């Protein structure tokens, strides 16, 4: 394992389920020490979420296992005097605090942002919520599906006949967590210059709108409201899913030279000079006709054969895989993306995902399995001693 950029950074994790835990999981992969504060006897709701009822009953649900390897867990009741006192001391010596309570909940527990900033002027306090801490919807409850609907992403997912459709994974939670992790690392970099902490107010709704790219920018810039197009790409043609001899194939021949190469390789060079398909805009205007012509040619060979042939010639093309197939392809295995850690309190191994980033050629993997609930309760005095003794950050040059 290479030296990791957040080695020595101490993170208090008060988050539940996905957006917050996904954020702190990536901070852990980058080297931070993440201390997960959990409600006594219950813990993170994700401990009870997943397809395996037995794991859920043992408070090790798949949803929890996926996002919490490498973290420490202590049980702390923030509604009790002792729990608040311990939390206050931890917050005084932490570098980062991440929470995804509804707006105002942490303040009602006795720890408004202003008080935390007084206790620890260098603290990077990140609050993740569905809509942000301010605005008319700040008190509304929100899960991923709610944000997907309100952001407009469901309106452009599917075909005109099937939309609106939910994206098949919790993309709003994921984007919210990544946005928070990016903001936290930026705040830590800024703190090295001026020594100041920051209060970060992360809105999953706004993060999702930001991540939607052309679906939002086409409307903001050109006033063109996007429509659901199924597996087709509105910005180019041919760009979408095509039938082959044995299954679907994605092709994204977005540049002119890629289109011309595609036509030659599928044995239809005459399509290059066909006025209906001569340039990008013409191809977009005649997308159905072009797709029919190409599909007829592509049905002559299986998808994997086309994938290899087209990719080798510089035309982006690939089969459509299941999740089970995707996590086991050689490309993923060769980069060490899937890590194996011991199963919590067990004698088997657990496979978890990494970050998708190699540092100096090495993947970042969890140093330990996900914790059982309260696994590190007995270590709190030693942890507090160590955090007290850790040098506080100072501005560069001091």
Per-residue pLDDT, averaged over 374-388, amounts to 95
Per-residue pLDDT, averaged over 4-30, amounts to 96
The predicted structure's pLDDT at residue 392:
53
pTM (predicted TM-score): 0.92
The answer to whether residue 232 is domain-embedded is no
Per-residue pLDDT, averaged over 190-217, amounts to 96
- Residue 270 tokens read as 């005459």
> What is the crossing angle of helices 19-29 and 171-194, to 10°?
50
Residues 272 and 207 in one domain: no
Per-residue pLDDT, averaged over 291-310, amounts to 97
Question: For the residues of 179-204, what is the DSSP string, one character each?
Answer: HHHHHHHHHHHHHHHH---EEEEEEH
Residue that finishes a domain, picked among 293, 319, 345: 319
Residue 236: half-sphere exposure toward Cβ, Cα within 13 Å = 13
Residue that finishes a domain, picked among 319, 348, 364: 319
- Torsional sign, CA 379, 380, 383, 389: negative
The answer to whether residue 397 is domain-embedded is no
> What is the crossing angle of helices 81-93 and 380-389, to 10°?
30
For position 260, which CATH number holds? 3.30.1540.10
> Beta 96-99 vs 10-14: how paired, if at all?
parallel
CA 386 to chain centre: 31
Residue that finishes a domain, picked among 319, 341, 357: 319
The predicted structure's pLDDT at residue 396:
47
Residue 339 has pLDDT above 90, yes or no: yes
Residues 24 and 126 in one domain: yes
Per-residue pLDDT, averaged over 205-227, amounts to 94
Rounded Cα gap, residues 298 and 311, in angstroms: 14
Residue 397 has pLDDT above 70, yes or no: no
Helix (H), strand (E) at residue 318: strand 317-319
Contact of 21 with 13, CB cutoff 8 Å: yes
The predicted structure's pLDDT at residue 391:
59
Question: For the residues of 79-110, what is the DSSP string, one character each?
Answer: TSHHHHHHHHHHHHH-SEEEE-PPTTHHHHTT
Residues 107 and 201 in one domain: yes
How many folded domains does the chain comprise? 2
Percentage of the residues of the chain whose pLDDT score is greater than 70: 97
DSSP bridge partners of 317: 251
The predicted structure's pLDDT at residue 236:
93
Positions marked catalytic: 173
Backbone angles phi, psi at 124, to 5 degrees: -95, 105
Percentage of the residues of the chain whose pLDDT score is greater than 90: 94
Per-residue pLDDT, averaged over 263-271, amounts to 97
Residue 390 has pLDDT above 90, yes or no: no
Residues 268 and 307 in one domain: yes
- Residue 352 tokens read as 């978890």
Rounded Cα gap, residues 84 and 369, in angstroms: 28
Residues 296 and 383 in one domain: no
Q: How confident is residue 2, by pLDDT bands cut at 50, 70 and 90?
A: low
Contacts of 42-45 spanning 24+ positions with Cβ under 8 A: 43/73, 43/75, 43/373, 43/374, 44/15, 44/16, 44/17, 44/68, 45/16, 45/17
Per-residue pLDDT, averaged over 220-244, amounts to 94
The answer to whether residue 248 is domain-embedded is yes
Residues 283 and 336 in one domain: no
Neighbours of 71 (CB within 10 A): 25
Residues 268 and 290 in one domain: yes
For position 368, which CATH number holds? 3.40.50.10540
Rounded Cα gap, residues 202 and 299, in angstroms: 47
The predicted structure's pLDDT at residue 25:
98
Residue 398 has pLDDT above 50, yes or no: no
Domain that holds residue 203: 10-212+330-389
């Amino acid at each position: 394992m290479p030296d990791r950029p957040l080695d020595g950074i101490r993170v208090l994790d008060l988050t539940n389920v996905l957006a917050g835990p996904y954020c702190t999981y990536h901070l852990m992969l980058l080297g931070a020490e993440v201390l997960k504060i959990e409600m006594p006897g219950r813990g993170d709701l994700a401990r009870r979420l997943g397809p395996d009822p037995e794991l859920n009953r043992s408070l090790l649900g798949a949803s929890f296992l996926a996002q919490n390897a490498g973290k420490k867990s202590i049980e702390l009741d923030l509604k009790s005097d002792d729990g608040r006192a311990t939390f206050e001391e931890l917050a005084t010596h932490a570098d980062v605090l991440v929470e995804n309570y509804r707006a105002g909940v942490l303040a009602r527990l006795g720890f408004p942002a202003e008080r935390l900033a007084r206790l620890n002027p260098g603290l990077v306090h990140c609050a993740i919520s569905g809509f942000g801490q301010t605005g008319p919807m700040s008190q509304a409850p929100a899960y991923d599906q709610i944000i997907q609907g309100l952001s407009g992403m469901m309106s452009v997912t599917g075909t005109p006949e099937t939309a609106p459709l939910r994206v098949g994974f919790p993309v709003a939670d994921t984007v919210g967590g990544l946005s928070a992790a990016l903001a936290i690392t930026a705040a830590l970099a800024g703190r090295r210059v001026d020594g100041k902490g920051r209060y970060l107010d992360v809105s999953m709704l706004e993060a999702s709108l930001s991540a939607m790219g052309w679906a939002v920018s086409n409307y903001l810039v050109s006033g063109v409201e996007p429509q659901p197009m199924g597996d087709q790409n509105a910005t180019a043609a041919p760009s979408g899913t095509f039938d082959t001899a044995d299954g679907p194939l994605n092709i994204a021949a977005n540049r002119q030279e890629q289109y011309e190469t595609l036509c030659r390789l599928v044995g239809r060079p005459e399509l290059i000079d066909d006025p209906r398909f001569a340039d990008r805009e013409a191809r977009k205007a005649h997308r159905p006709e072009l797709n029919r012509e190409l599909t007829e040619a592509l049905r002559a060979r299986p998808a994997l054969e086309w994938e290899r042939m087209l990719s080798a010639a510089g035309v982006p093309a690939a089969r459509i895989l299941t999740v089970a197939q995707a996590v086991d392809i050689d490309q993923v295995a060769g980069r060490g993306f899937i890590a194996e850690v011991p199963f919590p309190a067990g004698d088997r191994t657990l496979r978890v995902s990494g970050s998708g980033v190699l540092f100096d050629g090495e993947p970042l993997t969890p140093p330990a399995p996900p914790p059982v609930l309260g696994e590190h309760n007995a270590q709190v005095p030693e942890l507090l001693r160590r955090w007290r003794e850790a040098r506080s950050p100072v501005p560069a040059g001091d």
